[in-house]
Amino acid sequence: MGTNGRVARVARTVRSLPTMLERLIVTLEHRYTPIARFQPGPFEGWGFLWQPALLGFLALSLIFAGSCFTESPFKLEMPNTWFFGVPQSAAAALLPANETRLIFSIVLTYGGLILLLRVWLRLAEVVKLHHGASDLSLSLIAALWSVPMLIAPPLFSRDVFSYAAQGEMTAHGLSPYVMGPFSLGSSPYVNPVDPLWGNTPAPYGPLFLHLDGLIVRSTHHHQLLSTVGLRLLEVGAVALLALVLPRMARALGRDGGEAIVLGVLNPLVILTLIGGAHNDAIMVALLCTGLMFALRRRLWLALIFCALAAAIKAPAALGLVYVAWTWLSPRLEERNLTVRTLPKQLWQMVSYRIRPIVLSVILATITLLICTKLAGFGFGWIKNLATPGTVRSWVAPATGLGMAITGLCHLIGFDVSMGPILSVTRLMGLMGAMSAAVYLLWRAQSRGWVRSLGMSLLLFVVLGPVVQPWYLVWGLVVLAASYQGREHFWLLALSITSPFLGLPGAQDLWRSLLHANPLLMAVALVILLGTLLVPLGRWTQWSWPEVDDRRARLGLAAETATA
C-alpha cells in the first residue's frame, strides 16, 4: 500500500501540474498585466479580428526590422545571401559590429517575438471559448502575418542554403545521398552552407530533392533566386495547410477557426516554416491533407498524400501506419461479439485490418518508387536518416542525459568517451518513443487516432537525438485539430517556449547593455517593457471566461497558493 500510495500521489501530482501552472498564470496575468483592466462581458462577435491582425503584423515587422541590421545575429552575415541587410562585400563582413546596431537588432527581434506571443496566446484563448470565426478572416490574418517573414532574410537557421546547394547538386546529377554540398567546389551555392553540413549527405526524401532541383533549374542556377524559390515553396505549403486543417478539424467535430489559429497562426509556423524556410512545411501540409481524406473515408487519396509526405521527410510515414491500422469498416465496429459468431467476426476483424495495411504498403511503395525515379538517386536517403543526430544539444533530453553522464564521469575521475554513452541514452530515448507510439497506436480507436498520431510525432521529437523548434511543428499542427483537455495547455506552452530554443543574442544584449551609454540602455529597456506590458485592447476580455467563472478560477488559484 505504501509504494502504491506514493506512486498514486506522484501520478496525481503530474496530472495536476498543468492545472496548477494555468492557475498561477491566470493569477499573475490578472494582477500584473493590463488585461485586468477589462471585465469579461458577453461576446460581441468577430468584428475585432482586425486588432490582433494589426498587432501581430506589428510584432512581426519588429522582428523583420531587427533582422535588417547588418549586425543581426539572427541571420547569416554573408554577402549575396539576400537582397538587403547583409554585408556588401567580404571585407565589410569582417569589420567589428557596431554596438548600437547590434543592441537594436536584438531588442527589436526579442521585443517583436514577445509581442507576437502575447497576441497569439490571447487570440488562441478567444477561439477556444468562442467558436465560429470565419476561415477566410483567419486565413487573411495568416497571409498578413506572413508578409514580413516572406521578405525578411532567412532567419534563425541556415538550412535553406543547404537545400539550395542540394538542389544545385540534383540539377547537375550529383547525388546528395552520397556527397555533401561542398562537392560543388567553388560554386556560389557553397559559401552560405553551414560547415557542419558541408560534407554531410542529405536525409530528405526523393520528392523534396526533385522539387529542389526543379526550383534551381527554373532560376537558371541563380543561388539567391533559388533561395527565394524555396521560401515560396514553403509559403505555398502553409497556404495548403490553412486550407485543409480546418476541414480536418470539422471532420473530427471541432471548430475549424481554432485549428487555423493553433496550427497556422502558430508563431513556430510563421517564424520557422516561413521565416526559416524549412521543408517541414511541405511534409506537414501533405500529411494533414492525407489525414483530412482519411477522415472523409477516402482511403486511396489518404494513403497517397501520406506517402508523398513521407517522400519529403521520413517521420510522415507514421501517418501511413495510423491510417492503415485504424481503417476499420463502420459495420464491423458497430457489431457486438458473441460466442457463436466469435470465430467469424475475429476473422473479419483481421481481414479488415490486413486489407488496408497491404493496400497502404502497395500504394506507399508505388508512390516512393515514382518519386525516387523522378529524383534519380535511389533510396540512399534511408541510410542518412540519422544525420540530424550529428548535433549535440542539451535541449534534447536523450542527448542532454548522455552529456551530463559524461561530464559527471569526468568530474569523478573516469576517463570515458561521450560517443558510446550518447549511443546508449539516445537508444533509450528512441525505445521509449517507440514503446509509447505502439501503445498509442493500440489505443488509437478509444483515444482518437489523429490525436494519438500527433502525440506520437511529438514523442519522437522530444525523445529523439536532437530537438529543433521546427520539428515540434509535426505534432503540434496535428494536435491543433484534435487535442483534448490539458493537451491544449501543453500545445500553447511548447509553442511559446520553442521559438527561444537556441535563439542567439541574449548574451550579446546583456553584455552590450552593461557597457552601453545610459540613454541607449533606457531606450532598449523601454522597447522590451513596452512589448511586454502594452495593453492589447478590449478584445482580450473575451479570452477570459465570463465574470462568475473567472472569479471561481481565481478563487481556486488563491486556495492553491494558500495551501
User: φ and ψ at 541, to 5 degrees?
Assistant: -60, -30
- Tell me the chain's radius of gyration from C-alpha atoms: 25
Look at residue 289 in the predicted model and tell me its pLDDT.
Answer: 96
pLDDT tens for 68-94 read 888 788 888 888 888 888 887 666 555
Q: Buried b vs exposed e over 151-163: b needs ≥16 C-beta within 10 Å?
A: ebbbbbbbbbbbb
Distances in Å between the Cα of 232 and the Cα atoms of 145, 196, 215, 239, 290 are: 15, 26, 10, 10, 22
Q: State residue 187 phi and psi, 5-degree precision.
A: -60, 145
Pairwise CA distance, residues 287 & 283, whole Å: 6
Q: What is the dihedral of CA 465, 474, 485, 253, to 10 degrees?
A: -160
Say how far apart CA 371 and CA 311 lie, in whole Å: 7
Residue type at 138 in one-letter notation: L
Across 180-188, average pLDDT: 87
Q: How confident is the model at residue 536 (pLDDT cuts 50, 70, 90)?
A: confident
Residue that is written with C-alpha cell 515560396 in the block:
232
Would you state the pLDDT for residue 450? Answer: 93
- CA angle (63, 76, 507) in 5-degree steps: 65
Task: Report the distance separating Cα 41 and Cα 547, nearest Å.
Answer: 7
- Going 544 to 545 to 548 to 550, the CA torsion angle's sign is negative
* Top-confidence residue, 355 or 269: 269
Evaluate whether 256 touches 482 at the Cβ level (below 8 Å).
Answer: no
Highest mean pLDDT among 341-345, 393-397, 508-512: 393-397
Q: What is the C-alpha to C-alpha distance for residues 286 and 473, in angstroms, rounded to an integer?
A: 13
Nine cell digits for residue 59: 510584432
pLDDT value for 372: 85
* Contact predicate 86/79, CB 8 Å: yes
Question: So what's the pLDDT on residue 384?
Answer: 72
Which of 34-48, 198-212, 364-378, 456-470 is predicted with the least confidence, judged by mean pLDDT? 34-48
Mean pLDDT of the 538-549 span = 72
The full set of domain ranges for the chain reads: 2-157+230-309+487-562
Q: What is the mean pLDDT of residues 437-441?
A: 87
Mean pLDDT for 312-338 is 71
Predicted local distance difference test score (pLDDT) of residue 27: 66
Mean pLDDT along residues 345-370: 75
Whether the predicted pLDDT of 548 surpasses 60: no
Is the CB of residue 226 less than 8 Å from the CB of residue 168?
yes
H helices present in 463-562, as ranges: 469-480, 487-497, 506-515, 518-533, 547-562
The angle formed by the CA atoms of residues 312, 316 and 319, to the nearest 5 degrees, is: 145
The answer to whether the CB of 231 falls within 8 A of the CB of 253 is: no
Segment of 25-34, 116-125, 177-186 carrying the highest mean pLDDT? 116-125
In this prediction, residue 337 carries a pLDDT of: 45
In this prediction, residues 444-451 reach a mean pLDDT of 85
Instruction: Please report how many Cα atoms fall inside a 13 Å half-sphere around the Cα of residue 515, on the Cβ side.
Output: 9
Q: Is residue 407's pLDDT more than 70?
A: yes
pLDDT in tens, 381-395: 777 776 665 666 667
Residue at grid coordinates 510584432: 59
**Helix 518-533 vs helix 99-129: crossing angle, to nearest 10:** 10
Lookup result for grid cell 489505443: 443
Question: CA of 7: how far to CAs of 14, 433, 435, in Å?
Answer: 11, 22, 21
395 DSSP 8-state letter = T
Report, as an integer, the average pLDDT of 480-495: 89
- Residue 26 banded pLDDT, cuts 50, 70, 90: low
Q: What is the rounded average pLDDT of the residues 56-61?
A: 95
CB 438 within 8 A of CB 453: no
Q: How far apart are CA 293 and CA 288, in angstroms?
A: 9
| CA gap 422, 399 in Å, rounded | 6
Determine the Cα–Cα distance for residues 363 and 368; give it in Å rounded to an integer: 8
pLDDT greater than 70 at residue 219: yes
Nearest to 151 by CA among 231, 71, 77, 72: 231
Spatial distance between the Cα atoms of 486 and 497, rounded to a whole number of angstroms: 17
* Closest C-alpha to 155, from 116, 211, 113, 216: 113
Q: What is the mean pLDDT of residues 132-156?
A: 94
Q: Does the pLDDT of residue 361 top 90, yes or no?
A: no
For residue 103, pLDDT over 90 is answered with no
Instruction: Dump pLDDT digits (tens) for 255-272.
Output: 999 999 999 999 999 999
pLDDT at 389 (0 to 100):
57
- pLDDT for 461 beyond 70: yes
Under the banding of pLDDT at 50, 70 and 90, the label for residue 429 is: confident
476 touches 263 (CB < 8 A)? yes
Q: H-type helices in 296-341, by residue range?
A: 299-310, 317-325, 330-334
In this prediction, residue 345 carries a pLDDT of: 57
How would residue 478 be classed by pLDDT, with cut points 50, 70 and 90?
very high
pTM above 0.75, yes or no: yes
Are the CB atoms for 21 and 489 separated by under 8 Å? yes
State residue 331's pLDDT score.
44
**Which residue, 323, 258, 257, 252, is CA-closest to 286?**
323
Beta strands of 11-63 (E only): which ranges?
A: none
The answer to whether residue 233 scores a pLDDT higher than 90 is yes
Q: Distance between CA atoms of 497 and 321, rounded to whole angstroms?
A: 30
Q: What is the pLDDT of residues 148-178, one digit of tens each?
A: 999 999 998 899 999 999 999 999 888 898 8
**CA–CA separation, 486 and 349 (whole Å):** 33
What are the distances in angstroms from CA 164 to CA 209, 371, 469?
10, 19, 21
pLDDT for residue 37 is more than 70: no
